[in-house]
Chains A and B, each alone.
Chain A
C-alpha cells in the first residue's frame, strides 16, 4: 500500500512538471499552429538562472528558493516573448518555417548554455524541509513533491481564471476557436500571440526550476528529454486543449512511475499510449474533432 501511495504521489509530481511544460505548448499550438521546439530552451534557461539566483542568496533558504521560482518564471517569460517578437512574428502565417526557426533556436540556445554552464549536471539542494519526507499512509513521501504539485495546481487555476474571466483570456480562447473570425472583428490577435508565448514561457521557466528539484540536478540537457515527453503529453491530451494537457500530464506521469517501478519500461508504455490514443482518437483525449492541418 505504501509503495502504491508513494508511486502515486511521485507520479503526480512528475505529471505536475509535465503540465507546466505542456500547458504552454498546447496554448501556443492552439492559437498559432506552431509546435514550439524552443520550449525546452525556455525551461532550461529558467532552471539554470533560477538555480544561480538561489545559490547567490543561499540555496538552503526559503528566500533563495522562492526567488529562484520567481526569477525562473520571469526569465522564461522574457525569453519566450523575445522569441515570439524577433523570430516568429516575421514569419507570420508560415507555420512550417516558424517550427523550423524554433528548432534552430533550440539547437543554438542549448549549445550556448553548454558553453556557459558546462555539460555536466550540477546536483542541487533546496531548503532543508524539501529534502525531508512526510508520512502519508505509511509512505515516506519527499516534501518537494507537494510544492511542485501545489504550484502546478495554482498555475492551472490561474490559467483557467485568466482564460475565462479576463478580456485577453477571452481573445485567446476565441482565437483558438477561430482565429480569422477574431481578426475580422477588428481585434489584433498578434498581441495575443506574444501574450500566449509569455504565459507559456513563464510556466516553462517555473517548470524548469521545479524539474531541477524533482530530478535533483540542473544541466543544459534538462530540457531535451522533458520536451519530448511534454510533446507526447500535449498530443495525447489534444493539441490546443488546456484541460487535455492537465489530464494527459497526470495520466502519463502516474503511468510512467508505475510501469517503471513494476516492469521497468515506463518510457515505452507512454509511447504505446500515444500510438493507441492517436489511432483511436486522432484529435487526442480532449481535443476537438477537426485537428488543424497546419
Chain B
C-alpha cells in the first residue's frame, strides 16, 4: 500500500516535471529562459557575488586618491598625485566609452565606424558653448546633451536603413564629415588641428586645475558607474532583449511582428548619447578637445578595446578600455626610456611605437584568444565547473555582429 502511494507520488512528480519543462518560460526572461531551478539559484548566488565584488571594486577605486599606493611601471606616481590621477581618470573614461560601444556591437550587433562622432560632439559642443556663450556649466551640458540626442537620431535614422558593411561605411562617412568639419575650423569655433581649449570661466573651481585632479578622477569614476548602470538597465529591459534578439536573428523578430528598426535605433541613440556624456567629461578632464576624438582612429581604438575585453561582456569592455589606455600611455613613456633607446634599431623602432605593439597584440588576440579576456575567463570557468551558460559566448556574439 505504502509503496504504491510512493510510486504514485513519483509518477506525479515526473508528470509535473515534464509539464514544467514544456511550459513557456516566464515573460521577459530573455536568453536565460528555460533553465532548471538549481541552476537559477546558482546564478543568483553568482550574481550576488559579482555585485558584491563590483561594489567593493568601486569603493576601492573611490578611495584610491586618498591612498598612497606605488605601482612602478603601471602608474607614473603614487596614486594620490595628479599624474597618476589624470591617467587613472582617463582609463576610467575610456572604459566608459568602450562600454557605450559595447551597446552597439555587443548588444545589437552593429559594427559602427563612426562612434567617435558622438564623443567628439559632446566634447566640442560643450566646449564651444562655454567659449562662445555665457552659459553656466549645467545648462550648457543639458543643451549639449540635447544636441547629441538629435545628432544621434538623425544619423542613426539614416544609417540604419542599411545593415552590415554598408552600415559601417555610412557611419564612417558621417564621422568623417564631423572630422572634416572640426579640422576646417569654421569661424574659428573648433580651433582646427590645434584643438579647442576649455574656457574655465563657468566651470566650478572644484573641477579646474591640477590641484583638483582628485575631483576630476571622482567625476570620471561617477561617469563610468552611471554609464555601467544605465547599460545594464537597458540590457535587462524589454528593448534590450528585443535588441539582443535582433542580433541573433533579425528575420525571426520581424516575423514575430516586432520592429527591429526601432529597437536598433533606440539602442543606437542611447549609445550615442552616453558617448556624448563621456565626451563632455573628457573635455573637463583634459581641459580641452582635440580633433583626434572625432577621428576614425578613435572609433577603431574603441573597437579594439571592446574586442580585447571580449565582445558582449560589460566588464570585458570596461577592462579592455582601461587596459588599452594604460598600455597606450605607458608604452609611450617606455618608448622614450633609456632601456629602449639603447637597443639596436631593429628592436628600437618597433618598440618605440605604442600603436605597433597594440596593433600586434590585437591581431594576436583575434587569432589566438577568440573572445578576448571575457572569452578566456569563460573557458576557464567552464573547465572548472559551474560557469557554463551564465554569460554569452563572445565568439558567438562577434559572429552575429554586422
Contact = CB atoms under 8 A, between A and B. Distances in A.
Contacts of B161: 278-279, 282
Interface stretch (A10-18, A93-101, A207-215): A93-101
A79 to B, nearest CB: 14
Nearest to B296: A228
Interface in A229-268: 231-232, 235, 239, 267-268
Tier of interface size on chain B: 35 or more
B355 A278 contact: no
B359 A111 contact: yes
Contacts of B166: 235, 239, 278, 282, 291
Interface string A264-292: 00011011001100110010000000011
B307 interface: yes
A160 interface: no
B361 to A, nearest CB: 8
A252 to B, nearest CB: 12
A99 B176 CA distance: 20
A29 B169 CA distance: 13
B362 interface: yes
A267 B177 contact: yes
Interface in A189-213: none
A107 B355 CA distance: 6
B341 interface: no
A235 to B, nearest CB: 5
A112 B164 contact: no
A91 B172 CA distance: 25
B370 interface: yes
Contact of B363 (A108, A239, A270): A108
B170 interface: yes
Interface string A79-99: 000000001001100111101
B360 A235 contact: no
With a 10 A CB-CB cut-off, give which of B164, B350, B366 has the most chain A CB atoms. B366
A240 to B, nearest CB: 11
B330 to A, nearest CB: 16
A147 to B, nearest CB: 29
B170 A275 contact: yes
A29 B164 CA distance: 13
A35 B303 contact: no
Contacts of A106: 359
Contacts of A184: none
B359 A267 contact: no
Contacts of B349: 112, 115-116
B366 A111 contact: no
Given A100-B307, A232-B169, A108 B399 contact: no
B173 A275 contact: yes
A95 B111 CA distance: 12
A91 B173 contact: no
B253 interface: no
B363 A87 contact: yes
Contacts, number: 122
Contact of B158 (A105, A231, A268, A275): A275
Contact of B359 (A29, A105, A235): A105
A131 interface: no
Interface in B286-323: 296-297, 300, 303-304, 307
Contacts of A235: 165-166, 169
Contact of B360 (A35, A96, A108, A274): A108
Contacts of A97: 366, 370, 398
Nearest to B363: A104
A110 interface: yes
B173 A104 contact: no
A103 interface: yes
Contacts of B350: 112, 115
A1 interface: no
Given A111-B353, A114-B353, A116-B349, A274 B363 contact: no
Interface of A: 29, 35, 87, 90-91, 94-97, 99-101, 103-112, 114-116, 224, 228, 231-232, 235, 239, 267-268, 270-271, 274-275, 278-279, 282, 291-294
Given A29-B165, A99-B111, 12 more contacts: A35-B165, A90-B367, A94-B399, A100-B303, A101-B367, A104-B366, A107-B300, A108-B360, A115-B353, A228-B173, A274-B173, A279-B158
8 contacts: A96-B399, A97-B398, A107-B304, A231-B169, A232-B169, A271-B177, A282-B162, A294-B165
Give 8 closest A-B pairs by Cβ, nearest first: A108-B359, A107-B359, A111-B355, A104-B362, A111-B356, A104-B363, A111-B353, A115-B349
